[in-house]
Amino acid sequence: MRSISEFYSYLDSPRNVVITMHQKPDADALGSSLGLKAVLEKSGHGVTVVSPTNWPGFLNWIPGCSKVVDFESKREVGEKAISGADVVFCLDFNDLKRTKQLEPILERTTALRVLIDHHQEPQVDRFHFGISDTGKGSTAEMVYDFIVEIGYIHHVDKDIASCLYAGVMTDTGSFRFPSTTASAHLMVARLKETGFEHFKVHENIFDTFLENRLRFFGHVLLNRMDVNYELNTVLIAIPKSDLLRFDIKTGDTEGLVNYPLSMLGIKMAAIVIDRDEERKWSFRSKGDVDVNTFARRNFSGGGHRNAAGGRSELSLEECVTYFHKVLPELADVLKTED
C-alpha cells in the first residue's frame, strides 16, 4: 500500500468514485462516507456510497443518507457502481472481510482501492493507496484531514460538518475516550465555524429511541449480566428470544456494552448476542486491557486496544463457556490495580 499522499493528484480530474464501509455501519463509518461524498461531488467527481448492509434507523437523519445503496437489498445497483468506478474509498475498515458479501466484488474491481482507517493490523496488501493511523480516535477526523490536505476544505458546509461531527463525536465517546486528541477538538472548532448545530447531532443519535429499547436495556442489565469481580469483568449474553420479545432492530443494542464499565473496578465488558447466522461479540476495556488482541485471537475479530468486536459460529451457551475458558489470558492485567 502506497502513501495516500501519492494519490492526491489522481483527483485533479473528474473521477467515478465509490465509497464503502464495514457491514452494519455506525455513525463514524456512515458520517465519514457521506461527508467525503459531498465534498468530492462539490469538486466535480461522480460519487456513489455503497453500504454492505443496512444501518441503524437512528442514522437516517445524516445528510445524504437516503441515497446510500444498501448492497444486500440493491445488489445490482451496487455491483454496477463498483464496476464503473475509477476509485473505491474504503472507510472505517481495513480488512475486506468486514464488508461481508461485498468482499468478492471489491476483490475483483479494477478500480484503485484507497484506505482511510484507524483500526489495528491493516490488510495493507489489499489496498493500492491509503493511510492507517491508530492514533486517531475516528475515521471522520482522518477524512477531515484528507479534505484539508487535498485542498477541498472550502467545500465543507453545515451538512458536511454534521456528517463528520457525528463520526468523531460517537467514536471518541463524546470526547471522553483516551483516543481523543487536541486535533479532534481543533477539527470540531473549525466545523463549528460553518454554523452547524452540534446539539442536534447529539439529539438525533441519542434521543430518538423507542420505549422498548429502554425496557430491553433494563431487562438485560437485570437478568443477563454476569459480574466476575475476581477478574474485574462483566459478560452479558443475550439470547435470540430477548431480541424478539422487545422487537430489537439494527442499532438498538448500540452502547449497551459500555454500561458495565461505569461500575467501580470493572476493567472489561463483553457482550455476545445471538443472531440468526452467528453470535456477535463486542468488547470494551480500560487502560492496558487489550481487547483487540483478545478478540483477534479468540473471536475472529479485532478493532482497537480498548474497543473491539468479534463473531462466532458456536451456540450462545458454547460462546459463554469458551469466553470463561480464555478470559484468564488477561488475568494479570485485569487483576492489576490502577
d(CA 21, CA 294): 24
pLDDT confidence of residue 125: 94
Q: Which burial class, exposed, middle or buried, applies to 75 when counting CB atoms under 10 A from its CB (0-12, 13-18, 19+)?
A: middle
- 171 vs 32, 111, 236, 338, CA distance in Å? 11, 29, 22, 24
pLDDT mean across residues, the chain: 95
d(CA 23, CA 30): 10
What percentage of the chain reaches a pLDDT higher than 70? 100
Domains, the chain, in order of start with CATH, read 2-206 (3.90.1640.10), 211-335 (3.10.310.30)
Q: Name 117's bridge partners.
A: 132
Residue 243 binned pLDDT confidence (cut-offs 50, 70, 90):
very high
Cell numbers linked to 68: 446510500
**Side-by-side strand order, sheet with 225-228:** 225-228, 233-238, 268-274, 279-285, 307-312, 302-303
Single pTM value for the model? 0.90
**What is the phi-psi region of residue 142: left when phi exceeds 0, alpha when psi lies from -120 to 50, beta otherwise?**
alpha
What's the pLDDT tens digit per position in 141-150?
Answer: 999 999 999 9
What's the pLDDT tens digit per position in 192-236?
Answer: 999 999 999 999 999 999 999 999 999 999 999 999 999 999 999
Residue 179 reports pLDDT greater than 90: no
d(CA 237, CA 225): 7
Cell numbers linked to 52: 454492505
A 10 A CB-CB count for 181 gives: 15
**What is the phi-psi region of residue 236: left when phi exceeds 0, alpha when psi lies from -120 to 50, beta otherwise?**
beta
Residue 18 reports pLDDT greater than 90: yes
Average pLDDT estimate for 39-54: 97
Average pLDDT estimate for 252-266: 94
Residue 322 binned pLDDT confidence (cut-offs 50, 70, 90):
very high
d(CA 295, CA 145): 29
What's the pLDDT tens digit per position in 119-176?
Answer: 988 999 999 999 999 999 999 999 999 999 999 999 999 999 999 999 999 999 999 8
CA angle 55, 208, 20 (to 5 degrees): 20
Cell numbers linked to 314: 458456536
d(CA 132, CA 119): 7
pLDDT confidence of residue 16: 98
Q: Is 278 helix (H, G, I), strand (E, B) or coil?
A: coil
pLDDT confidence of residue 128: 97
pLDDT confidence of residue 338: 62
pLDDT confidence of residue 242: 97
